[in-house]
Amino acid sequence: MTDQQIVERLRIVPDYPIKGIMFFDVTTLFKDAACFEELVNRICELYRDKGITKVAGIESRGFITGAAVAARLGAGFVPIRKPGKLPARTVSEKYSKEYGTDTIEIHADAITPDDVVLIHDDILATGGTAGAAIRLVKGFGPKEVYCNFLIDITDCPRTTPLPEDVRIESLLHLAEK
């Protein structure tokens, strides 16, 4: 499947969740079995030889491909969630996004210094969520941290600088306009 065939399956919803935001709805990529498998295969190919021991998926769409990638790589899966969703003791990180502020949490025992972690989410836009997830994961002191996205919205201004010591890769690079 080509990049163009994947993009053709992507739904873009204007003015969601607020006016002025172009929402890239990746659920249309997941409902197509061949497309979903292609995405998982591409991510696994990027990280197959990196020694990934944990995939940390960001709520909620990062759970979908993140869990499939973790299973395929033989790694554990760690959810990064919104506040109040995890049952045990958590560590949290606040961040800014295009339309407000938010917080994400991870279980306090989710990652060890022996882990090599792949953080995964669907979209890289302003970098707020990604930056918070990277800070959260790096706080555990793992051996290595990688970060992956299905789509990088290239013309969205990065309001949060992302650390240079974390390799960040996206499968597709698309403009919002």
DSSP-assigned beta bridge partners for residue 152: 124, 173
Which amino acid, one-letter code, is at 126?
A: T
Tell me 161's DSSP state: P
Other C-beta atoms closer than 10 Å to the C-beta of 51 total: 12
Confidence of residue 99 (pLDDT cuts 50, 70, 90): low
Contacts 24+ apart (CB under 8 A), 71-77: 72/40, 72/44, 73/44, 73/47, 73/48, 73/118, 75/118
Show which residues are catalytic.
61, 98
The CATH code of domain 50-174 reads 3.40.50.2020
What is the arithmetic mean of pLDDT over 58-82?
Answer: 97
DSSP-assigned beta bridge partners for residue 104: 93
Over the stretch 118-164, which tens digit does the pLDDT of each residue have?
Answer: 999 999 998 999 999 999 999 999 999 999 999 999 998 888 889 99
The torsion region of residue 95 among left (phi > 0), alpha (psi -120 to 50) and beta comes to: beta
Residue 41: predicted pLDDT: 98
Tell me 125's DSSP state: S
Residue 172, CA distances (Å) to 21, 22, 77 in order: 19, 16, 23
